[in-house]
Copies of this chain bind each other. A is one copy, B any other.
């Protein structure tokens, strides 16, 4: 694709550009800026990566709204487009070069679709998929090979289920969701009541709901509760190997990074960010727009907008202070021992 064609396709997403008949390279692909070769388009996320512009071999760049950087690119003969959010513009460029694999429409002859399954229009059901009775599938849904869907499941339009994932009974998946490979949705919550003779299993008779636009990462698990619902709100994204316990209520537009674990009945607000390997204890409530940094262990409620770190979680500011001072403990302890002796 020629640079000028790319610029035309992006249209109003571009705030400034070097568009010029003299400098109109043919672009054959995308690359990270450090390893870009001639013919590729790359990007820098912000001003602090400015020095990369002086060394990259990319033929075109996406730049921030910084005239000095833009001039530098022009001086090096690099075509560029700019926007206030270069990463967002780059994401739009990627879509012009690459579309992920889509199964062809239709039901593969090796798929097993039991009776009493409703299937919408233009649906792709891959090889060896198994769909039990009482499942409803919307339009334009893609179900990759070897997915298993238990009975009493609804799947909204345009949703994609990747290979080898499992959708258990009593699950409601909205439109435009993605469930990545190996994930288990609506699996039995961990419910055992201790008795004198051992654990008594509490059957998990509730529902699991993914609202529209939810993504669930590879091998993540979202459990079904004993009663009521486990619910993940609209446009919330989960990374790989995340565990969502039974009865959790997660708001909209959250991002939950890899290997996070939420115990049972956790309530998470909207636009919450949980970094990798965070753990949240039973019944905790986390307010809107709260942030937990990686490996935080949350045992108490988190206020809206609060940023927490550490184990047990404290405010991120306090944690930064104490984490620094912990390393002075050997000195402090020596002083303490001496003072005691005196």
Contact = CB atoms under 8 A, between A and B. Distances in A.
B323 A312 contact: yes
B112 A130 contact: no
A311 B295 contact: yes
Contacts of A326: 322, 326, 329
A190 B168 CA distance: 24
A169 to B, nearest CB: 5
Contacts of A330: 318, 321-322, 325
A318 B331 CA distance: 11
Contact of A279 (B145, B276, B327): B276
Contact of A164 (B42, B90, B94, B148): B148
Given A110-B110, A218-B187, A322-B327, A193 B128 contact: no
A91 B202 contact: yes
Interface stretch (A16-24, A66-74, A116-124, A258-266): A258-266
B219 A184 contact: yes
B94 A253 contact: no
A247 B95 CA distance: 18
Given A239-B190, A240-B187, A314 B327 contact: yes
A276 B90 CA distance: 36
A205 interface: yes
A163 B190 contact: no
Interface string A118-162: 000000001110101000000000001110101110000000001
7 tightest Cβ-Cβ pairs between the two chains A and B: A98-B205, A148-B163, A130-B145, A166-B181, A91-B202, A184-B218, A32-B228
21 contacts: A35-B228, A91-B200, A91-B202, A98-B205, A108-B112, A126-B130, A130-B163, A164-B165, A181-B187, A190-B237, A198-B213, A199-B253, A199-B255, A217-B221, A240-B243, A279-B294, A318-B327, A322-B330, A325-B329, A325-B330, A332-B336
